């Protein structure tokens, strides 16, 4: 009888331990998912800032025509976003036929990029 009680207590302690560690595991998995989402958001924000800085320095402040290397960097950054909305707006900008349309599309592009920055 004494042996049976000890075995029951050990089984209950082990079961309680399993439940405790199971809950801790699920909590850690949830936290890891949140951290991954946060990291992804921060990376996207960094890419947007990098693009915007290059765009301002290489295009808006340019005294001459934009060189091929700058255009290539900007195009690659747009592709790296993987965002259809940004790609579409970029296409509208680069396909502008007049300076007035290009200026309007630049405003739309920069506004879109600012709205894409997640400041949570």
Inter-residue contact 112 to 90 (CB < 8 Å) = no
pLDDT band at 120 (very low <50, low <70, confident <90, very high): low
pLDDT at residue 62 greater than cutoff 90: no
Residue 96's Cβ-count burial label (10 Å; 0-12, 13-18, 19+) is middle
Separation of alpha carbons 36 and 23, rounded Å: 20
Residue bearing tokens 């946060």: 38
Residues in the chain: 120
pTM of the model: 0.76
In this predicted structure, what is the pLDDT of residue 55? Answer: 93
Segment 75-79 shows an average pLDDT of 94
The three-class DSSP label of residue 74 is helix
Domain ranges of the chain: 2-116
pLDDT band at 1 (very low <50, low <70, confident <90, very high): low
What is the tens place of the pLDDT at every residue in 6-49?
A: 999 999 999 999 999 999 999 999 999 999 999 999 999 999 99
What is the tens place of the pLDDT at every residue in 92-106?
A: 999 999 989 999 999
Higher-confidence residue of 63 and 53: namely 53
Contacts of 85 (CB under 8 A, 6+ apart): 112, 116
List, in sequence order, the alpha helices (H) in the chain: 2-55, 68-81, 84-94, 99-116
Q: Which tokens hold the place of 33?
A: 């998912």
Helix axes 68-81, 84-94, angle to 10 degrees: 150
């Amino acid at each position: 009888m004494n042996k049976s009680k000890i075995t029951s207590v050990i089984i209950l302690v082990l079961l309680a331990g399993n439940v405790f560690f199971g809950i801790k595991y699920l909590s850690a998995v949830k936290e890891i998912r949140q951290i991954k989402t946060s990291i992804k958001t921060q990376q996207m924000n960094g890419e947007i800032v990098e693009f915007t800085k290059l765009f301002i320095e290489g295009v808006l402040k340019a005294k001459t025509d934009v060189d091929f290397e700058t255009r290539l960097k900007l195009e690659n950054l747009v592709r790296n976003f993987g965002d259809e909305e940004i790609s579409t707006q970029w296409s509208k900008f680069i396909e502008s036929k007049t300076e007035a349309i290009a200026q309007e599309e630049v405003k739309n592009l920069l506004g879109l990029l600012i709205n894409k920055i997640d400041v949570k």
